[in-house]
């Protein structure tokens, strides 16, 4: 498999206070593929994901060392423009967090804060991304009702549309289906498969079957260390490390 | 099992009774004040009393307008100062301040709430009154003794800071991290996130905080009485003295009661104060419900 690198992590260490959550991680995340980060609970998956868009820096008492290159730019450099970096990435969290406003305003929020004010263009953007998130038909008649009234599955797709509306290159998902029912999960998974042609997708998941269904590339973390990474096929069919074998067989969980 | 259900019902009933009791208490107070105020209402119609300017108890003239205006001036000034200061402080403490600053400031703010109002009054007399007399009034090219609705407003605003800061801080803290992260992850700056998400989400709670602060401001007596000047005339500027309703009641009740109808007039003043606070609370409740609907 020919892989172009999109995000390159070099010697990344993250500390919460005195506790080290990530230990000297170095990986290259391939461009326009789905990368799954797997590993048991508490191994640092969310921490790694939040390092990619520097949300990690919003937490009290966090220390980060090392480099993360996105499109060749080290995002942890002092003069890096955090807001521009974050705009490059859409985030789907474990639980959907619709903003306290209408469905329309949720999707238009990103473009608006980045200076887009043209009403017609905003309407077009909202429509385009609601279609892309597979929500348009369900919601087109009540765009101006509060987003909090939607079902959780709809909210998660709305969050996807909201993330896509800032035209990111990368989509980060932190167990994006864990709060959803099977049907909504399937919806989201289908979206991811459709999106990988245009976006680099990185999802955290602890559902191995989901990783098998979606991932082209797999990163396995254990207790803050990077144990193994590689194309999904190799990791699932022929893991090199003992730990990975055990995790995939379901011995460690 | 049965026992548990019984307890549940019992506790529920007790709480209901307590709630009803506190509601009824206001009603009883209102009725009692009304009965006491009846003698003066029998002589003069209510609206005439409310809109009359002349306060000459010896001549039997009891016009309340100067006192109502005094209350509105003092409360208005206090609110104009207190709202921006305390809300910005609360935002700073919840969103920007380091853990260290946060943990030291919170108890200090709460401490402010526990200082007796006489102390605020003395501080007003010693600091604010001279400040206005010697610096602020000359700056605007006028004369003021310093005892003015502005002094009272400033002192009062500081007294309501802790209430508004404390409650709105709780409200800002209750906005989930996930929601803030959702906004930040879209590339919004911290200030944009605060402005469009945190404040929006917290708005109903912030309004409730302001209402509680205001209710205190309406009724606060001691500190205001010490610095407001207590002249029964409608203030024509912030530098003029004023005579708020609570000060009128506190200054005169028990002293001038030999004058006919005076006692009844003071009771009416209390009733008016009660109604003003009640009216204000009802209005803000309506606003609150509206806002809650629009920020879901
Ligand atoms: N805000 C925080 N403050 C202190 N420690 C934290 C914080 N967030 C995470 N940790 C710790 O860092 C380690 C890694 O946490 P992280 O959330 O990245 O794990 P995870 O792999 O996402 O787990 P899960 O599958 O349960 O979501 C854990 O030991 C956790 O206790
Ligand atoms: Mg996690």
A206 lines ligand 1 (CB under 6 A): yes
| Among the listed residues A48, A59, A64, the one whose alpha carbon sits nearest the alpha carbon of residue A219 | A48
Q: ipTM of the assembly?
A: 0.91
Q: Please give the DSSP secondary-structure letter assigned to residue A100.
A: S
Domain shared by A249 and A178, yes or no: yes
Domain shared by A18 and A108, yes or no: no
| Among the listed residues B220, B223, B263, the one whose alpha carbon sits nearest the alpha carbon of residue B35 | B263
Domain shared by A80 and A144, yes or no: no
Choose, out of B182, B190, B198, B203, the residue to mutate when testing the contact with A (most A CBs < 10 Å): B182
| pLDDT value for B218 | 83
A47 lines ligand 1 (CB under 6 A): yes
* C-beta contacts of A117-125 below 8 A and 24+ residues apart: A125/A165
- Residue whose CA is closest, atom 28 of ligand 1? A42
pLDDT band at B277 (very low <50, low <70, confident <90, very high): confident
Rounding to the nearest 10 degrees, give the CA dihedral for residues A198, A142, A189, B185.
Answer: 60
Residue B7 confidence (pLDDT) above 90: no
* Total domains, chain A: 2
Domain shared by A250 and A192, yes or no: yes
| pLDDT value for B59 | 87
| pLDDT value for A251 | 64
Residue B296 confidence (pLDDT) above 70: no
Contact B69, B234 (CB under 8 A): yes
- 3-state secondary structure (DSSP) of residue A82: helix
What is the token pair recorded at A194?
Answer: 């459709």
Tell which of A167, A186, A203 closes a domain: A167
Query: Ligand 2 mean position to A42 CA, how many Å?
Result: 7
Q: Do A110 and B187 touch (CB under 8 A)?
A: yes
Contact B227, B128 (CB under 8 A): yes
Domain shared by A17 and A67, yes or no: yes
pLDDT tens figures, A92-144: 999 999 999 999 999 999 999 999 999 999 999 999 999 988 899 999 999 99
Ligand 1 nearest atom to the CA of residue A43, by list position: 21
Interfacial residues of A (vs B; Cβ cutoff 8 Å): 53, 55, 58, 60-61, 83-84, 86-87, 89-91, 93, 95, 97, 99-101, 109-110, 113-114, 146, 148-149, 159, 162-163, 166, 172
Is A195 contained in some domain? Answer: yes
| pLDDT value for A252 | 63
In sequence order, which residues have a C-beta less than 8 Å from that of residue B218 and are 6 or more positions away? B71, B75, B246, B273, B276, B277, B280
Contacts of B179 in chain A (CB under 8 A): 97, 99-100
Residue B188 confidence (pLDDT) above 80: yes
Is B39 contained in some domain? Answer: no
pLDDT tens figures, A48-92: 999 999 999 998 889 999 999 999 899 999 899 999 999 999 999
A194 lines ligand 1 (CB under 6 A): no
Domain shared by A84 and A181, yes or no: yes
pLDDT tens figures, A159-209: 999 999 999 999 999 999 988 889 889 988 998 999 999 999 999 998 889
Is A73 contained in some domain? Answer: yes
| pLDDT value for A183 | 87
Among B179, B185, B296, select the one facing A55 at the smallest CB separation. Answer: B185
- Containing domain of residue B258, as a range? 67-295
Is B284 contained in some domain? Answer: yes
| pLDDT value for B244 | 92
Query: Ligand 2 mean position to A38 CA, how many Å?
Result: 10
Domain shared by A70 and A21, yes or no: yes
Is A125 contained in some domain? Answer: yes
Residue B176 confidence (pLDDT) above 60: yes
Contact A92, A160 (CB under 8 A): yes
Domain shared by A75 and A183, yes or no: yes
- Residue whose CA is closest, atom 30 of ligand 1? A42
> Which value, in Å, is the radius of gyration of the alpha carbons in chain B?
23
- Containing domain of residue A52, as a range? 1-88+169-253
pLDDT tens figures, B67-88: 999 999 999 999 999 999 999 9
A15 lines ligand 1 (CB under 6 A): no
Among B179, B186, B196, select the one facing A166 at the smallest CB separation. Answer: B186
Residue B158 confidence (pLDDT) above 90: yes
Q: Do B186 and A101 touch (CB under 8 A)?
A: no
Is B143 contained in some domain? Answer: yes
Across all residues in chain B, what is the average pLDDT? 90
Q: What is the CATH number of the domain that holds B193?
A: 1.10.3720.10
* Total domains, chain B: 1
Is B13 contained in some domain? Answer: no
Residue B2 confidence (pLDDT) above 80: no
Element (H, E) at B125: none
What is the token pair recorded at A220?
Answer: 């396995």
Q: What is the CATH number of the domain that holds A10?
A: 3.40.50.300
Domain shared by A149 and A139, yes or no: yes
Domain shared by A147 and A50, yes or no: no
| Among the listed residues A132, A200, A188, the one whose alpha carbon sits nearest the alpha carbon of residue A155 | A188
Is B11 contained in some domain? Answer: no
Average the pLDDT over B245-264 and give the result: 85
pLDDT tens figures, B202-251: 998 898 888 888 888 888 888 888 999 989 899 999 999 999 999 999 88
Tell which of A147, A167, A187 closes a domain: A167
3-state secondary structure chain A: CCCCEEEEEEEEEEEECCEEEEEEEEEEEECCCEEEEECCCCCCHHHHHHHHCCHHHHCCCEEEEEEEEECCEECCCCCCCHHHHHHCEEEECCCCCCCCCEHHHHHHHHHHHCCCCCHHHHHHHHHHHHHHCCCHHHHHHHCCCEHHHCCHHHHHHHHHHHHHCCCCCEEEEECCCCCCCHHHHHHHHHHHHHHCCCCEEEEECCCHHHHHHHCCEEEEEECCEEEEEEEHHHHHHCCCCHHHHHHHHCCCC
């Amino acid at each position: 498999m020919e892989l172009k690198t999109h995000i390159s992590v070099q010697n990344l260490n993250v500390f919460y206070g005195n506790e080290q959550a990530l230990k000297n991680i170095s990986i290259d995340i391939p461009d326009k593929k789905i990368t799954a980060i797997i590993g048991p609970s508490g191994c640092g998956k969310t921490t790694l994901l939040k390092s990619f868009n520097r949300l990690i820096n919003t937490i009290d008492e966090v220390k980060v060392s090392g480099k993360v290159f996105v499109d060749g730019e080290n995002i942890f450099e002092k003069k890096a423009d955090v807001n521009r970096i974050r705009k490059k990435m859409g985030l789907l969290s474990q639980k959907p967090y619709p903003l306290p406003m209408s469905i329309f305003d949720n999707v238009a929020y990103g473009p608006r804060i980045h200076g887009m004010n043209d009403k017609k263009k905003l309407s077009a953007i909202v429509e385009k991304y609601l279609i892309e998130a597979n929500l348009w038909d369900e919601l087109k008649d009540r765009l101006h009702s509060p987003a909090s009234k939607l079902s959780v599955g709809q909210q998660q797709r709305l969050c996807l549309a909201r993330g896509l509306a800032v035209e990111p290159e990368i989509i980060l998902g932190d167990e994006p289906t864990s709060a959803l029912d099977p049907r909504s999960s399937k919806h989201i998974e289908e979206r991811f498969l459709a999106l990988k042609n245009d976006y680099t997708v990185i999802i955290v998941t602890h559902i191995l079957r989901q990783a098998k269904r979606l991932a082209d590339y797999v990163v396995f973390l254990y207790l803050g260390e990077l144990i193994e990474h590689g194309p999904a096929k190799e990791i699932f069919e022929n893991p090199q490390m003992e730990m990975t074998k055990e995790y995939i067989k379901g011995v460690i969980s | 099992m049965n026992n548990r259900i019984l307890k549940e019902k019992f506790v529920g009933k007790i709480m209901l009774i307590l709630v009803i009791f506190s509601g009824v208490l206001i009603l009883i107070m209102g009725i009692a004040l009304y009965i006491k105020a009846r003698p003066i209402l029998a002589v003069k119609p209510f609206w005439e009393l409310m809109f009359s300017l002349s306060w000459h108890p010896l001549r039997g003239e009891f016009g309340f307008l100067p006192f109502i205006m005094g209350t509105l001036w003092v409360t208005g000034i206090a609110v104009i100062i207190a709202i921006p200061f305390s809300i910005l402080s609360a935002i700073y403490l919840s969103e920007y301040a380091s853990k260290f600053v946060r943990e030291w400031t919170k108890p200090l703010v709460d401490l402010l709430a526990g200082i007796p109002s006489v102390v605020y009054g003395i501080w007003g007399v010693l600091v604010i009154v001279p400040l206005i007399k010697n610096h602020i009034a000359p700056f605007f090219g006028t004369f003021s003794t310093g005892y003015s609705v502005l002094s009272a407003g400033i002192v009062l605003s500081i007294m309501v800071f802790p209430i508004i800061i404390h409650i709105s801080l709780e409200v800002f803290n209750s906005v989930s991290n996930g929601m803030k992260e959702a906004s930040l992850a879209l590339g919004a700056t911290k200030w944009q996130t605060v402005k469009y998400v945190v404040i929006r989400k917290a708005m109903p709670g912030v309004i409730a905080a302001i209402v509680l602060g205001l209710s205190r401001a309406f009724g606060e007596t001691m500190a205001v009485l010490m610095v407001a000047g207590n002249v029964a005339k409608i203030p024509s500027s912030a530098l003029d003295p004023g005579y708020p309703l609570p000060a009128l009641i506190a200054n005169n009740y028990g002293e001038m009661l030999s004058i006919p109808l005076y006692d009844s007039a003071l009771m009416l003043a209390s009733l008016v104060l009660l109604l003003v606070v009640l009216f204000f609370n009802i209005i803000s409740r309506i606003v609150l419900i509206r806002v809650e609907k629009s920020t879901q």
